[in-house]
Amino acid sequence: MEAKRLTAPISDEDILQLKAGDTVLISGIIYTARDAAHQRLVELMEKGEELPIDLVGQIIYYVGPAPAPPGKPIGSAGPTTSGRMDAYTPQMLARGMKICIGKGSRSEEVKKALQEYKAVYLAAVGGAAALLAKTVAKSEVVAYPELGAEAIYRLEVVDFPATVINDAHGNDLYEEGVKAYRREPAC
């Protein structure tokens, strides 16, 4: 199957064409955010204050990149466990985020919010941090520099690979995979 190409900002039409199991290649701008940044963003939302980035149509990658080696825009940049962001994800989706990228499964609340707000959850390959970093052409901290690796970075990526795990139609690749390969016990 050929990979689907995406460029942010992402529209509802882009999202509704994606199905669990699709491979995507993302080029353009994505933002990074982990636990601490998510907490700060949601606190600002709850206070009705302006966010340091506009989430509408955007992609958030759950990563805390390693420092950039000389001559490179970023160090290793592998996904972190997405479940740690589950408490914040519905609010982020409500503010317009269209894609989140990480590793691992998501809560039922997040899966319902993905459907409600027409968004998808993608998995990046864990253990391939150095390879994923090669897709980053440019990197800059745009918010919360005091958080170090957990600051919000603006990444310019070219052909960043990921797989659709949860689509906006309620499908879950992890659940489908278990069903497809489940074996009944021998008698």
Per-residue pLDDT tens over the stretch 74-84: 999 999 999 99
At 186, the pLDDT band (50, 70, 90 cuts) reads low
Determine which one of 14, 34, 38, 105 is catalytic. 38
Please name each of the domains of the chain with its CATH number.
Answer: 13-181 (3.20.130.10)
Q: How far apart are CA 99 and CA 13, in angstroms?
A: 13
Would residue 38 show up in a list of annotated catalytic residues for this protein?
A: yes
75, 88, 187 from 24: Cα distances, Å: 22, 24, 42
Q: How far apart are CA 149 and CA 60, in angstroms?
A: 15
pTM above 0.85, yes or no: yes
At 187, the pLDDT band (50, 70, 90 cuts) reads low
Task: Read off the pLDDT of residues 105-163 as tens digits, 9 standing for 90 and up.
Answer: 999 999 999 999 999 999 998 878 888 999 999 999 999 999 999 999 999 999 999 99
